[in-house]
Amino acid sequence: MSGPKKTKAMVSVLALALLAGQLSFAADQTQLNWFREVKFGMFIHWGPYSVASVEASWPIMEPDPKLWGGITESEYVALPSRFNPVHFDADALVRLAQATGQRYMVFTTKHHDGFCMFNSSYTSYKITNTPYQKDIVAQLAEACRRANMPLGFYYSPPDMHHPDYRDTSKLVKDSWRGDPTRPEWPTYLNYMEMQLRELLTRYGPVAIIWFDGLDHEEKYDGYRFLKMIHELSPNTLVNNRIGLPADYETPEQFVPQTIPVKAGAPKPAQGEVPRPEDFRPWETCMTINNTWAYNNRDRQFKSAQVLIRTLISVASKGGNFLLNVGPAPDGTIQPEFQERLRAVGEWMKVNGDSIYGTTYGPWQKLAFGKSTAKEKTIYLHVFDWPAFGELKIEGAQEKVKSATLLAGKQHLQFRQSGDQLTIEVPKAAPDANASVIAVETK
C-alpha cells in the first residue's frame, strides 16, 4: 500500500473511533456552556478580494461572472498589490459588534485562495506583503483583548496558492479540490499545522477554530488537527468541517427545521424537542446580503426585522447565530450593514434576556412566533400580534405564575385551563420586529 493511501486508511479508522466514542477530543464542558450561552456572534470575511468587489475565492474556483463576479485568475492573484485598508479600525469593529449585541467574533485568517490576513512565517502571500504591511489579525486580537471580546479564527484547509495542496501549473478551476495522492500532500498538512500553531500561540486566547474543508474533508486528517488544537489550546472549540464531528454543527445560510441532536440520538419530529442530553450544539452562519465578501453590486440586504427574527428562530432551536459582515477595501463597514446591525442591537438592549443563556423553548408549535427558555422562564417571541387582545398557547402543560412584557415590564393578565394558556395583551404590538413576553412557570 502506498504512503498516501495508507494515511487515508488510518484517518478513516481514527474518524470511526471518534464517532464511536472510543477517542475524545471534545472541548471542556465549561467552554461548550459558554458557547451555548453567548448565542450571537459576528463573522468577518475579508481579504484582497474586496478590492475587486467579488466573492472570496470562488471566482477562481468556479468562474461564473453572474454568480461570483467576472475576474480572471491572474487578476485575482494580483489583488494583494492593491490592497491597502488604511481606514481599518479594529477597536471600532469590536465596538460595532458590541453595539449589535454580539458576544463573540470569528475572523477569516485564510480563505480558500490561500491569502493570509496574518503575518505567517510560512508564506509570502500575506497581508504584511501588501501596501498596508500591518498584521490585521494581530490588531483585531489586541482590540478584542482590550474589550474582553472572545475571538475565533476561520481557517480554510483548502489553499489554492500552495503548490503542495494542488498542481499549481493547472488553473484553479481544474484543481481546486486538491489531491491527497500526490507525494507533496503530507508536506501540505505540515504547513497547515505550522500555521494553526501560529494562530493558537501568537494571538492570545482563541475561542474557536472554524474550519471550512469543503468536500472530502477526510483528506485533511482531522484527528491530527483536533488532537493538536486541544493539546495546545484546551479551551478552543472546533467546528465540524474537517472530517470529524468535533464540538458543534454549522448549517450555512439556513435554520434547521428540527433541533439538531448527537449522532445516534433519536431525531425529534418538527415541532418537538429532544432530551437535553441528546442536544447537539450548533451555529447558523448567514450573510446580511447574498455574499460573504464585500460586493458593492449586491444590494439585496435583509431587513433588520428579518435578521432579528432569524436570530430568534435560531435561539428557539437552541443554536447560535453567526452573522457575517464583509468590510470594504478601505477597512470600513458599509452604512447599510451598520444600520441593520445597530437596529438589531437596539432590539437586544430590550429583549436580550430572551436570547442570551437560553435554550430551545418547550412550545415549538406556536402559530404566532417562537419560544426560548431559561430555567423556569419561557420567552414568547410574538411575530404576529393578535388583533383582538388575546394570545392563545395550546399545549402549555407548565403551570404559569406570571406573564410580563419585556418592553416596559408591563405585567399581563392570564388564565390557564388544562393545557391552554390565554394571555391578555395590549391591542398594539410593543415592537414591530418581535415583541417578547416572559412567562414565569411554577
Span 195-224, pLDDT tens digits: 999 999 999 999 999 999 999 999 999 999
CATH fold of 361-441: Immunoglobulin-like (2.60.40)
pLDDT in the model for residue 271:
87
In this structure, are strands 420-424 and 414-417 parallel, antiparallel, or unpaired? antiparallel
The reply to whether domains 25-354 and 361-441 share a CATH topology is: no
What is the pTM (predicted TM-score) of this model? 0.94
Residues of the chain with pLDDT > 70, as a percent, come to 94
- Is it the case that residue 21 has pLDDT exceeding 50? no
CATH number of 25-354: 3.20.20.80
Mean pLDDT of 38-56: 98
Mean pLDDT of 414-440: 96
Sheet holding 208-211, edge to edge: 237-238, 208-211, 151-155, 105-110, 40-44, 320-325, 283-287
The domain segmentation of the chain, as residue ranges, is 25-354, 361-441
Residue 150, classed as helix, strand or coil, is: coil
User: pLDDT tens across 333-387, in order?
Assistant: 999 999 999 999 999 999 999 999 999 999 999 999 999 999 999 999 999 999 9
- Is it the case that residue 315 has pLDDT exceeding 90? yes
Contact 213, 221 (CB under 8 A): no
- Is it the case that residue 280 has pLDDT exceeding 80? yes
The residues, ordered by sequence, that sit 6+ positions from 18 with a Cβ below 8 Å of its Cβ are 24, 25, 223, 226, 244, 245
Mean pLDDT of the chain: 93
